[in-house]
Amino acid sequence: MTLEIQNVSKLYNRNKYGLKDFSLRIDKGILGLLGPNGAGKSTLLKMIATVSKPTEGIISLNKNNIVKDANYMRKQLGFLPQDFGVYPNLNTYEFLEYMAAMKGVGGANLKPRIKQLLEGLNLMEVAKKPIGSYSGGMKQRVGIAQVLLNNPKIIIFDEPTVGLDPEERVRFRNLISDLANDCIVILSSHIVSDIDTIADKVVIMKNGTLITHGSQDDIIKNVTNTVFETTIKNEELANFKAQHIVVSTTRKDGHMMVRYITENPLENATEMEASLEDAYLYLTKTN
């Protein structure tokens, strides 16, 4: 499985690019796509999923140009869009049968496949109730069932953890790790902790362009030996932030603990072990 994105741009309006001259090669495994809101994550994922077409450039899956031959992608694809709306009046069976028809999945295998997914995703008990009555996490599991209906080889989740509580996030993470055997899984988020425990490779993007990609270790190397923690007075914070890249602040005994990135640490600063979050903040603030 190889997905190749070559010099892809998406022009929305006369001079508004959603994505600009973006190139990346993706092999099997879990790819975490990280970027602040407006970075172009959804723009990119929709083009990979053949929901929209690039203005320029080529996207190919196993050397097949999917801009020209969208069906080659669609047959192997499972896609959970960011704005995945379910049909509130349908129950889960009805919805999955409808989605199966849309994907061209049918035959004698369909009913057992649906049953297997409902059991796997712990939806059996509620499957006959209307989806409109489900919690956020239950709706998302219906979305995941839809993604997996056709045993996809390339699986795309756009901001799948939005609206999930911490327990549901953990459950989702475990599920993704199980999926990734032989597939390409792409997972987008603007929150580092959503992907840092599961992604084999990470892409960081901003303003429609790629800032960096690589293993988590590769990316963390950008900030090795530059992450420090120190204590300042509350009233010094604004000034401190103007002069340093601050990753996080916590209050402690009337003081402020700041974690920050610097080449020239203050004398009383303690060096910290660099994390993906540190690298992400550094790279998105300096690019």
The binding site for ligand ADP (CB under 6 A) comprises 12-13, 16, 18, 35, 37-43
Taking the complex as a whole, the smallest distance from the CB of residue 190 to ligand ADP amounts, in Å, to 7
Minimum CB–partner distance for residue 43 and Mg ion (Å): 8
Identity of the residue, 53 or 68, whose beta carbon is nearer to Mg ion in the bound complex: 53
Query: Residue 266: CB partners within 8 Å, gap ≥ 6?
Result: 228, 230
Choose from Mg ion, ligand ADP, none: what does 16 bind? Cβ within 5-8 Å by kind: ligand ADP
Strand 17-27 with 64-65, pairing: unpaired
- Confirm if 143 and 86 have CB atoms less than 8 A apart: yes
Q: Rg of the chain's alpha carbons, rounded to an integer?
A: 21
Task: Name the E strands within the chain.
Answer: 2-11, 17-27, 29-34, 56-61, 64-65, 77-80, 154-158, 184-189, 201-206, 209-215, 227-233, 245-252, 255-261, 270-271
> If 0-12 CB within 10 Å is exposed, 13-18 middle and 19+ buried, where does residue 87 land?
middle
Kindly report the number of other CB atoms within 10 A of residue 124's CB atom: 13
> Which residue's beta carbon is nearest to the bound Mg ion?
42
Complex with ligand ADP: residue 85 or 107, whichever CB lies closer = 85
Closest approach, Cβ 243 to Mg ion, in A, equals: 32
The nearest distance, CB 221 to ligand ADP, in angstroms, is: 24
Binding site for Mg ion (CB under 5 A): 41-42, 82
Using a 10 angstrom Cβ sphere, with 0-12 exposed, 13-18 middle and 19 or more buried, the burial of residue 250 is: exposed
Longest dimension (CA), the chain: 71
Question: Least Å distance between CB 131 and ligand ADP?
Answer: 24
Instruction: Name which of Mg ion, ligand ADP, none residue 37 binds, using a CB cut-off of 5 to 8 Å depending on partner kind.
Output: ligand ADP
Output 20 or 255, the one with its CB closest to ligand ADP: 20
Q: Burial, 264: exposed, middle or buried (Cβ in 10 Å; 0-12, 13-18, 19+)?
A: exposed
| Least CB distance to Mg ion at residue 224 (A) | 30
88 binding partner (options ligand ADP, Mg ion, none; Cβ < 5 to 8 Å by kind): none
Least distance (Å) from ligand ADP to the CB of residue 9? 12
What residue 12 binds from Mg ion, ligand ADP, none (CB within 5 to 8 A, per partner kind)?
A: ligand ADP
Task: CB nearer to Mg ion: give 127 or 155.
Answer: 155
